[in-house]
C-alpha cells in the first residue's frame, strides 16, 4: 500500500484535485488543482516546488567509495571535487543501460547516488572486496525540487550563509534553509534555473513551512508530476521505462539500449579504469549504433490540414505529456523506422514536440520523417522533422 511522503501532511490539504500518482510506494500529486497550466507556468515564470522524495538515495562511504562508484557508473567519479555533481548512466556487462541518475560528492570519502528506480542491490554486488559502506537513505531523506526563474532568489533569502547565489550549475553545498539543515544542489529535471533540496525526513515539514512563508513574494507554487513531465520533455530529458527500457525490465533483449543510443556518449569515460560494460561500450563506439533517441518537431500547417481539411475538426493535440508510443515512418516508403515515446503540444514553444527512438540513418537533425496521428479514430501521418534537443534551454538555466 502506498504511503505519503514526509511532506504529505502539507501537500495533501493543497491537493484539491485529489489526483495522486504512485511512485516507488509513495503518493505524489499529479496535479494540485484541476488545471495543470498554472503549475507549469510557475516552472517557467516564477518558482515551483515539486515533491521528489520517492527518488532512491544511497549513501556510499569509505576509503574505496570513489573506486566502487567508478566500477559501477560510466562517468569518472574519482575526478569529482567535493561539492560536485555528476549525471551518469550505469550499465550491465553488455553495455546496456540499467538507468541513469546523479552522483553527489559530499567529501573525499562520502557520496550520494540518486536514482528513479532501485539500485542498491546492484551497487552492493559490485562492492565485494572494497572498503566501503552502502546505506539506503531513501526513506531517511526527503527531497524537494525548487525550479524556476525566482528559485535562486527564494533560496538565497532562506539560506543562512548567503552563498546560494554563487552556487554553480551541478554543484552542491550543505547549508541551513530557514534554520533547517539541508543539502542544496544546483540540479533539476525541468531544464530551467532550479535547485533540489535534500533534508532529513523528520525536518521535512519545517522546511516546507519555511519555504511556504518566504515563497509568497517569489510566486512559489506547489507543482505536480504532470507539469514536471511537460517541462522535462521540453528540456529533452529521457525518462526510464518511458523513453527507454531499462535492461533490468526489458521483456525482449533487443529493447535494451546503450548510453550512445540515448545521446549520453559524453558521459562514457572509456579512459578511466575498468567499469561494468566498458568492453561492450568501447566496441559500440568503434562500430556505431543502430538506433538513436532524438527530438521531433511537427509543423503546424500539416496538422491543421489533417484535422480541418480532411476530417473537418479542430486540431486536438495533447496539452499534457502523452506517453503512449506511436510509430515513426519513412516518408517515402511508409516503413516503420522508430517510435515516438513522449509528445506534447508545447504552449511555450508553440510547437508539437516529441522524444523518439529512430533507426540511426534517420537520426540526423533536419531529417524528414512521418509521425502517426489518430484523427477521428483513423490512423493518419503528418510530416515531422528530427530536431536537436533540448527544445528549450534558457540562458538562466546554467548562469
Q: How far apart are the C-alpha atoms of 193 and 214, rounded to whole Å?
A: 18
Task: Specify if 201 maps to a domain.
Answer: yes
300 and 378 share one domain: yes
Q: How far apart are the C-alpha atoms of 138 and 373, rounded to whole Å?
A: 40
- CB–CB of 384/297 below 8 Å? yes
Task: Specify if 229 maps to a domain.
Answer: no
283 and 296 share one domain: no
14 and 143 share one domain: yes
209 and 189 share one domain: yes
Strand order in the sheet with 85-91: 85-91, 97-107, 110-115, 56-61, 133-136
36 and 169 share one domain: yes
> What integer best gives the mean pLDDT of the chain?
97
What are 271-293's pLDDT values in tens digits? Answer: 999 999 999 999 999 999 999 99
Assign residue 298 the CATH number of its domain: 2.40.30.110
334 and 373 share one domain: yes
State mean pLDDT over 252-260: 95
Query: What pLDDT shows up at residue 113?
Result: 98
Confidence (pTM): 0.97
- 81, pLDDT greater than 90: yes
Q: Which domain holds residue 318?
A: 291-391
Q: 3-class SS at 59?
A: strand
**Residues 6 or more apart in contact with residue 255 via CB below 8 angstroms:** 245
Pick from 223, 240, 274: which residue ends a domain? Answer: 223
What one-character DSSP code corresponds to residue 55?
S
**Residues 6 or more apart in contact with residue 248 via CB below 8 angstroms:** 98, 99, 117
213 and 85 share one domain: no
Query: What pLDDT shows up at residue 311?
Result: 85
Q: Is residue 15 very low, low, confident or very high in pLDDT (cuts 50, 70, 90)?
A: very high
Query: What pLDDT shows up at residue 371?
Result: 98
Query: What pLDDT shows up at residue 135?
Result: 98
Assign residue 121 the CATH number of its domain: 3.30.70.1400
- CB–CB of 28/34 below 8 Å? no
Strand order in the sheet with 26-31: 3-4, 26-31, 19-23
122 and 45 share one domain: no
Q: Is residue 309 very low, low, confident or very high in pLDDT (cuts 50, 70, 90)?
A: confident
- CB–CB of 390/189 below 8 Å? no
Query: What pLDDT shows up at residue 2?
Result: 86
What are 218-253's pLDDT values in tens digits? Answer: 999 999 999 999 999 999 999 999 999 999 999 999
- CB–CB of 29/15 below 8 Å? yes
Strand order in the sheet with 220-222: 172-177, 180-185, 194-200, 141-147, 47-51, 220-222
Strand 47-51 and strand 220-222: the pairing is: parallel
Bridge partner residues of 266 (DSSP): none
Q: 3-class SS at 53?
A: coil
- 345, pLDDT greater than 90: yes
Task: Specify if 143 maps to a domain.
Answer: yes
Task: Specify if 113 maps to a domain.
Answer: yes
266 and 353 share one domain: no
Q: 3-class SS at 226?
A: helix
315 and 190 share one domain: no
The residue behind cell 512563508 is 213
- 38, pLDDT greater than 90: yes
Q: Is residue 160 very low, low, confident or very high in pLDDT (cuts 50, 70, 90)?
A: confident
- 388, pLDDT greater than 90: yes
Q: How many structural domains is the chain composed of?
A: 3
Amino acid at each position: 500500500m502506498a504511503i505519503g511522503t514526509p511532506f504529505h501532511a502539507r501537500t495533501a490539504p493543497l491537493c484539491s484535485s485529489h489526483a495522486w500518482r504512485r511512485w516507488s510506494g509513495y503518493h505524489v500529486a499529479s496535479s494540485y488543482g484541476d488545471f495543470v497550466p498554472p503549475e507549469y507556468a510557475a516552472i517557467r515564470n516564477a518558482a515551483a516546488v515539486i515533491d521528489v522524495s520517492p527518488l532512491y538515495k544511497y549513501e556510499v562511504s569509505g576509503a574505496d567509495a570513489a573506486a566502487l562508484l567508478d566500477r559501477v557508473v560510466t562517468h569518472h567519479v574519482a575526478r569529482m571535487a567535493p561539492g560536485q555533481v555528476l549525471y551518469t548512466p550505469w550499465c550491465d556487462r553488455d553495455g546496456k543501460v540499467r538507468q541513469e541518475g546523479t552522483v553527489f560528492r559530499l567529501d573525499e570519502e562520502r557520496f550520494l547516488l540518486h536514482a528513479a528506480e532501485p539500485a542498491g542491490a546492484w551497487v552492493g554486488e559490485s562492492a565485494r572486496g572494497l572498503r566501503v559502506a552502502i546505506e539506503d537513505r531513501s526513506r531517511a531523506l526527503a527531497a524537494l525540487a525548487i525550479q524556476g526563474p525566482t528559485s535562486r532568489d527564494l533560496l538565497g533569502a532562506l539560506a543562512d550563509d548567503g552563498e546560494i547565489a554563487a552556487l554553480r550549475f551541478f554543484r552542491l553545498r550543505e547549508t541551513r534553509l530557514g534554520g533547517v539543515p539541508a543539502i542544496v544542489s544546483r540540479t533539476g529535471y525541468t531544464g530551467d534555473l532550479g535547485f533540489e533540496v535534500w533534508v532529513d525526513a523528520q525536518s521535512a515539514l519545517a522546511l516546507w513551512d519555511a519555504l511556504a512563508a518566504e515563497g509568497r513574494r517569489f510566486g512559489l507554487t506547489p507543482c505536480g508530476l504532470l507539469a514536471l513531465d511537460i517541462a522535462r520533455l521540453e528540456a529533452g530529458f529521457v525518462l526510464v521505462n518511458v523513453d527507454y527500457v531499462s535492461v533490468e525490465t526489458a521483456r525482449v533483449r533487443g529493447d535494451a539500449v546503450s548510453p550512445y543510443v540515448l545521446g549520453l556518449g559524453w558521459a562514457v569515460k572509456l579512459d578511466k579504469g575498468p567499469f561494468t560494460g566498458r568492453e561492450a561500450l568501447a566496441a559500440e563506439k568503434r562500430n556505431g549504433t543502430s538506433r538513436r533517441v532524438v527530438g521531433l518537431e511537427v509543423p503546424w500547417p500539416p496538422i491543421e490540414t489533417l484535422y480541418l481539411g480532411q476530417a473537418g475538426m479542430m486540431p486536438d493535440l495533447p496539452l499534457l505529456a502523452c506517453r503512449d508510443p506511436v510509430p515513426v515512418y519513412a516518408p517515402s516508403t511508409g516503413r516503420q523506422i522508430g517510435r515516438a515515446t513522449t509528445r506534447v503540444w508545447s504552449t511555450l514553444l508553440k510547437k508539437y514536440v516529441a522524444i523518439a527512438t529512430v533507426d540511426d540513418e534517420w537520426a540526423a537533425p533536419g531529417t524528414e520523417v512521418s509521425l502517426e496521428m489518430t484523427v477521428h479514430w483513423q490512423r493518419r501521418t503528418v510530416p515531422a522533422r528530427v530536431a536537436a534537443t533540448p527544445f528549450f534551454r534558457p540562458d538562466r538555466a546554467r548562469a
